[in-house]
Structure formats: structure tokens, C-alpha cells
Amino acid sequence: MNTLNRLCTTTAFVAALMATSPSWADVTAEQVWSDWQDMIESTGAKVTYDSAADDGILTINDLVVTVDEAPKTDIRLGAVVLQETGDGSVQVLLPASGPIIIETGSEKATLEQRNTGFSLIVSGTAGDLTYRYAATEISLALTEYRKDDIRREGLKAQVALNDLSGMLHGRTTGLRQLEQDFTLGKLAYMIDLTHPEKEISFTSEGSITNLQSDVNVAIPENIKTLTMAEAMDNGLIMKGNIGYNDIAARFTYSENEDKITGSGESGSGDIRMSLQKGDNTVVEASESISFGPIRLRVDGDVADNDMFNARFALDQLGGRLDMGLPENIESFSSGYGETSMADLMNAGFRVGVNLNYDNLDGAVSFVRGGEAGSISAISDMLDFGFSLSREMLRVSSASKGTEFNLETVDLPIGAIRLVVAQTLQDFRLPLKTTPDPQPFVYHEEIRDLAISDNLWAMFDPDAQIPRTAITYVLNVSGLGNWLVDPFAPEFDTPGNTKGELHRLTLHELLLRGAGVELTGAGDFTFNNDDLDSYDGIPAPKGDLELKLTGGNQILDTLVKIGVLSDEDALGFRMALGLFTLKGDGDDTIVSHIEANGKGDLLANGKRLK
């Protein structure tokens, strides 16, 4: 682990020491310190120190936390004072400022910690303690960095926490239970990395305001010896959420004559997580997020006068993840390659994902070799869902107001523009073998797809074909059942019957565009005892209604612009004439397809089979 990672670890540790001390301490200074050591050493680290006790005051000097994981790391934290107040509580005192030193192999970083208005009071009874903490400001700053005992210049970093307050309540009753409420007025950081010999620099600064968090955790004391199922049975639970008002950050990177700048900001955000015992599976895990609005921007000027600009915006971004894990998850984790997907699913595994956003607006523009180009996309909304369980696979999505533009010299036809008013997808497939038929769904819509004239002109330069928007709808549902488990290895065996189709309903077929419209609807049932009438396909019974408007006109136009020959068009017309009749209205044909369940297939009363 490098020094930067150790720096991050130290920052988290010091913040925890100042603000979120462990919850299973007693009310004397010695017992508080003893339990702190237990907490630190439970992570695998070691603690060394000098101490002095006098009349309820315990002073810890030369405090060093050592992580033996290669390369060995020493974190020197200085002094801590624990003072009994005489009313059954303990006050923790830190120096207003002092160095913290991290040594990892040949690297050494020195930090300066400062705090103002810091207060930490521990109260309660043994095994049931409350920590109340506050600080006007806590900061950590990198003051020196050495590698191979050589001081490296040009490195600056600082993080500051302002208006910090919170309460932590901990109990130990066979479970280590922790409840915490935490508020932070502002977290700000600054990084400045400049190479002293090369013309390379990176600077960044940012902040989070009004950060709020609450956590509820219960951990069995002997959790290291327990399986996941046993830990859940013994009360393991983790719940928490983090929220904030806004985040803002910006950066600058330069190397020689190249320069890249960027910025980002987010409005209110909320993250929620939970891990707890479920009804049918040992672990129910969930996480949800909500952010918005979000704004990002990156600008770059690079060699040879090349440049690029990128911007991205969302009014709202949300998502959710839900998982169910089987009780014997350890056995699947250790030998997954020998475990079939069917075993995992039968044991209770499931997953569900949802992602949604409102008002996406993104664009990239660039100049390369003196030639300009751009890409942009906008979308009013998107809602995507995926779920997988032993019973069902479902994939769904919906979008509105989507537009895509592309312009670059690499495209000889010029700029491309695509606009889609609305899309919808809904796919549901049962996954479990059952004696009774189960419903399935395939529903897809693309409404009012408009493409730029130059794409039309590739095959119709004189605009003979009406350049109207294109709409496609296919909405099908049915009933079926699997005879072989889709997750079982034998599902891939050739020749065996995988399942049975019992019903198929076409709720809507719509294809509209270029002056043509095709519509259809129908409903069929299937006899799985009759596999002879249709060469292995269950014999259908039902009917299908089809209507085509503008068919002759489009054939004439395709002949006129040279896409089809007269002979090809004649062949199409003759084929259509076999199973269509003239309908109401100009250039309209209809067809009624019927399967009578006896092996006969008719079109408009005429036998096709």
C-alpha cells in the first residue's frame, strides 16, 4: 500500500478518533483506552505508546499504530489525554495542533492536524455508552513528503471539516450495537501536485456542504468464527444513510503546453444502504441513490492547436440495487466454478437493479488536425430495470425525448441527427419448470423516430419517399412452461424438448413510416399433443388480422428510384395477392389468417395448408 493510500487511511482514522470513537467503552479513562486498543487491534494493526495516570487523568504519549501488511507502515499520532470528569463521564482531549507521521517503506509523510472547539464526552454505564462530539474545525495538512530520505517539493494537500457534531450510542449485549447521528457543515479539500523538474502539475479543490449521516449496526461479538448464516441468526444487521446539500469540485492539469480543466457539482444527494436477515434468504442487501442536479464540464487545449470541450448535465439521477443471497453463500464463493447456476438460484439468489434519470444533456466538441467535430445527446427521461430470480427474468426500459447529433469530417455524408419521441421495452420470461403454463411478455416500442435528410438521401436523393417519422410497436404475450430447467446443464443437450408453448397473443403490431402502415392483432392457442401437423411445432388454433396501407405506392417508388426492379415488384405483388384482399380505402389490403386446430391454415377462407 503506497503512502497516498496510507494518507487516506490516516485521515479516516484521525477523524474517527476525534469524532466517532468506538461504542463499547466503560466510564473510566483506563477502560476507555483499553477498549480503543481492542478496536484498533481488531483491524490487525498494533498499538505502542507511553502512558501516565494521575488522579483520573490518563495521558497517552508517543502513540504509534503499526500495520504489518507489506510494506510495513507506522502511523505516529502524538498524544491523547483521557480525563475523568467526576460525574461518571470521560472527556477526551487532543492538542490544538500537532504532527502525524506516516512511514511506509522508503516513503515518509508528515501531516499537521489542527482542531478548534473540539469536544468529546463519553457517558453512560458499562456496556451502554453515549459519545457526544463536536468541533468548530478539524483539519489535516500535508507539510512534508520524503522518498529515500529526499524531500520532494511541490506537494500540498489539505482536508478540513467544519461545524462537526454528532452522537454515538453503543451497547454490548452479546451484540455490539451502534447507533450514530452525524452532521457536518462543510468538508473542503485542496490538492496541489507540481513536479519540480518537469512541467507537470495537478491542482484540485472542492467541498461538500451539510453532510448528514445516521447508522444502525449490530455485530455479533464472535463474528470472526461465524458463517454468514450464523451471523445473521445471531443478529447481524447494518443500516445507514448519507445525505448532503451540494458537492462542488474543480481541477487543472497541465503538462508542457497541454492544459485540461474541469469542474463538477451536484445538488442534494442521498445514499441508503441496508444488510439484514430476510424471510427466505439469509441476507437481504439493498442500496439506493438519489442525486441532482448534476453538472460536469471538462475543457482541454492540447498540442498542435487541438482542443476539446465536454459538458454533461442531469436534473436527477436515481437508482436502486436489491439482492438476496443464499444462506450457504460461503460454499458458493469458495467453489463457484463447480456450482451450477441452477444450484445458486435454487438456494435463493436474486438481484434487482433500477436506474433512472431526468433531463440528460451532454455534448462533446473538438478540433483535431484543424478539423472540427461534435457529438451531443439529450433525453427527457430514462427508466431502466433488471431483475433476476428463480421464478422470473425481467428487463424493462422507457425513454422520452431522445436526440442524438454527430458531426465530424470522418463522415462523408455530413452531420447525422436522430430523434426518438418515445421508446419502451418490457421483457418477462419465467425461469422455473412448472406443470402449469406461466405468462411471458415481449413488448417493444419505438415511436416517432426521425432521421436527418442526408441519411434518407443515401438511397433516395430526390426525396421520392415520404420522409415521415418511423414508428414500430410489437406487443406480444403468452403462456408457456419449461420442461427442462433453463439453468441446468442438460438444457443445452441437443434434441430434447425444452418447453411447451400454450398461448400466444399479438396485442399490437404497428409499423409506420415512409408512407406505409402495417397493423395487426391476433390470438392463438397451441396443442402440444399434436406435433405432426406442423412438423414438430404444436398445432395452433386462432386467427390473425393484418392490414397494410400504402404498399403499392412504396413498391412503385422503390422501382422509380432504382432500389427494386419491375420484376421484383411484381413478385412482391403476386405473393401478397395469395393471402390478401382489397380493403377499405385507397391502396389498402387486409388479410385474415386462421388456424383451425385441425392442421389447416387458411387466408381469407382459402386454404394455404
Query: What DSSP letter does each residue of 363-430 carry, written as one string?
Result: EEEEEETTEEEEEEEEEEEEEEEEEE-SSEEEEEEEEEEEEEEEE-TT-TT--EEEEEEEEEEEEEEE
The pLDDT value recorded for residue 223 is 78
Residue 252 covered by a domain:
no
Q: What is the rounded CA–CA span in Å between residue 191 and residue 169?
A: 35
Which residue, 397, 393, 377, 390, is CA-closest to 446?
397
Distance in angstroms (rounded) separating the CA atoms of residues 119 and 131? 10
Q: What residues have CB less than 8 Å from 301, skipping those under 6 apart? A: 258, 259, 260, 307
Is residue 75 within a helix (H) or strand (E), and if so which, with residue range?
A: strand 73-84
pLDDT confidence of residue 330: 64
**β-strands 128-147, 155-172 pairing:** antiparallel
Residue 187 grid cell: 468538508
3-state DSSP assignment of residue 232: helix
Task: Report the number of distinct structural domains present in the chain.
Answer: 2
User: Residues 6 or more apart from 340 whose CB is under 8 A from it?
Assistant: 487, 488, 489
CA distance linking residue 470 with residue 420, whole number of Å: 9
Strands 392-407 and 416-430, sheet pairing: antiparallel
Report helix, strand or coil for 127: coil
Which residues, in sequence order, are CB contacts of 68 under 8 Å at separation 6+?
A: 44, 45, 46
| 517 CA to centre of own chain | 39
- DSSP assignment of 1-50, as one string? --HHHHHHHHHHHHHHHHH---S---SSHHHHHHHHHHHHHTTT-EEEEE
Q: Containing domain of residue 545, as a range?
A: 515-607
State phi, psi for 5 to the nearest 5 degrees: -65, -40
Residues 501-548 have pLDDT tens digits of 999 999 999 999 999 999 999 999 999 999 988 988 999 999 999 999
Q: Select from 197, 217, 241 the last residue of a domain.
A: 197
pTM to 2 decimal places: 0.83
Whether 520 is covered by a domain: the verdict is yes
Query: For residue 42, what are the contacts with CB-CB under 8 A and spacing of at least 6?
Result: none
pLDDT > 90: percent of the chain = 59
For residue 540, being part of any structural domain is answered with: yes
Q: Give the domain-ending residue among 155, 180, 197.
A: 197
Q: At what angle do helices 551-560 and 566-579 cross, to 10 degrees?
A: 170
* Nearest C-alpha neighbor of 548 from the set 509, 605, 595: 509
* 121 in any annotated domain: yes
Instruction: Answer yes or no: are the C-beta atoms of 152 and 128 closer than 8 Å.
Output: no
Beta bridge mates, 543: 523, 594
Give how far the C-alpha of residue 207 lies from the chain's centroid of Cα atoms, to the nearest Å: 23
Is residue 292 one of the residues assigned to a domain? no
| Omega within 30 of 0 (cis) for the link into 71 | yes
Report yes or no on 314 lying in a domain. Answer: no
**Phi and psi torsions of 419, nearest 5°:** -130, 130
Q: Does residue 85 sit within a domain?
A: yes
The reply to whether 286 falls in a domain is: no
Name residues of the chain where pLDDT drops below 50. 1-26, 334-337
The residue among 197, 215, 231 that closes a domain is: 197
